Amino acid sequence: MKVKIQIPETIKDVVLKDYQEFARVQAQYKDKEADEHIAQRMVSIFGNVSMADLRKVTLDKYEVAVTLINKLFEEVPTFRHTIEVDGQKFGFIPDLENITLGEYVDIDNYIKDPKDWHRFMAVCYRPITMNVKDTYEIEEYNGSERFAEIMAFASFADCYAAVLFFWTLTDELLSVMTTYLTEESKTTTEDSGQGSPNDGDGISLSTILQARTLLDSNILQGFRFTPVSLN
Question: Does residue 223 contact residue 66 with C-beta atoms inside 8 Å?
Answer: no
Q: Percent of the chain at pLDDT above 90?
A: 55
The C-alpha atoms of residue 33 and residue 153 are separated, in whole angstroms, by 32
Q: pLDDT-derived band of residue 98, with 50, 70 and 90 as boundaries?
A: confident
Give the span between the Cα atoms of 118 and 179, in whole angstroms: 34
Domain boundaries, the chain: 11-72, 82-157, 166-216
pLDDT tens, position by position, 103-162: 989 998 999 899 999 999 999 999 999 999 889 999 999 999 999 999 999 999 999 999
φ, ψ for residue 112, nearest 5 deg? -75, -25
